Amino acid sequence: MSKKKLKAAAVEHPVPQSLDECAEFIARIGEAQRERTLIETAMNDDLAARKQAYEARAKPWGEKIAALTKGVQTWCEANRARITNDGRVKFHRFATGEVKWRMRPPSIAVRGVDAVIGCLKSMGLDRLIRTKEEVDKDAMLRDTELAKTVPGVTVSQKEDFVVEPFETQLEEVV
């Protein structure tokens, strides 16, 4: 009869050995979080300054592009019939690039949804009203025991472990 040896993987992280040491670990987590926040803040300040500098350098070029584009559009609109073969095509190729006229798909904007729905109903235009059926998950969460009895429904709940080091915050002068 052979004896089996059980091998356990070594723990890859430090584990506190007492209540006091666990409290010390939590304090060190808070210190590490604050240091990381300082680094993140410095990074964001640096990124904001760099972005602003590049945007300032790019701004005159954006303005130049917009002005040239408006000029090209003005000329093309004035000569549209000639460069589109009297509207048979919606583009023109120049030696350096092309221009295009594209019709956007239609869109609908509705203000006062309830009033519009009431108007559609009164006009007998129910085909323009969408009725949507969906499972009420909020109702199921209020009655999980009943929800569990429905085939295809699974109720799950997970537990997270959270470490929140205590911190004090400086008051801001407004």
pLDDT tens digit sequence for 75-117: 999 999 999 999 999 999 999 999 999 999 999 999 999 999 9
Number of domains in the chain: 1
Residue at 2 is within a domain? no
CA distance linking residue 35 with residue 38, whole number of Å: 5
Residue at 68 is within a domain? yes
- What per-residue confidence (pLDDT) applies to 167? 80
Residue 170: pLDDT above 70? no
Instruction: Return the structure tokens found at 99.
Output: 């221009």
Instruction: Return the structure tokens found at 46.
Output: 């640096």
CA distance linking residue 73 with residue 65, whole number of Å: 12
CA distance linking residue 4 with residue 150, whole number of Å: 46
- Specify whether the CB–CB gap between 108 and 116 falls below 8 A: no
Domain extent for 92: 14-103
Residue at 154 is within a domain? no
Reported as a single tens digit per residue, the pLDDT across 140-150 is 999 999 999 99
- What per-residue confidence (pLDDT) applies to 3? 63
Q: How does 74-83 read in b/e, with b if 16+ C-beta sit within 10 Å?
A: eebeeeeeee
CA distance linking residue 81 with residue 43, whole number of Å: 54
Residue at 63 is within a domain? yes
Residue at 3 is within a domain? no
Reported as a single tens digit per residue, the pLDDT across 5-43 is 666 677 688 999 999 999 999 999 999 999 999 999 999
Please state, in angstroms and as integers, the Cα–Cα distance from residue 166 to each residue in 19, 26, 159, 163, following that order.
16, 9, 22, 10
- What per-residue confidence (pLDDT) applies to 140? 95
Residue at 152 is within a domain? no
- What per-residue confidence (pLDDT) applies to 161? 86
Residue type, 74: T
Q: How does 108-130 read in b/e, with b if 16+ C-beta sit within 10 Å?
A: eeeeeeeeeeeeeeeeeeeeeee
Range 158-165 average pLDDT: 88
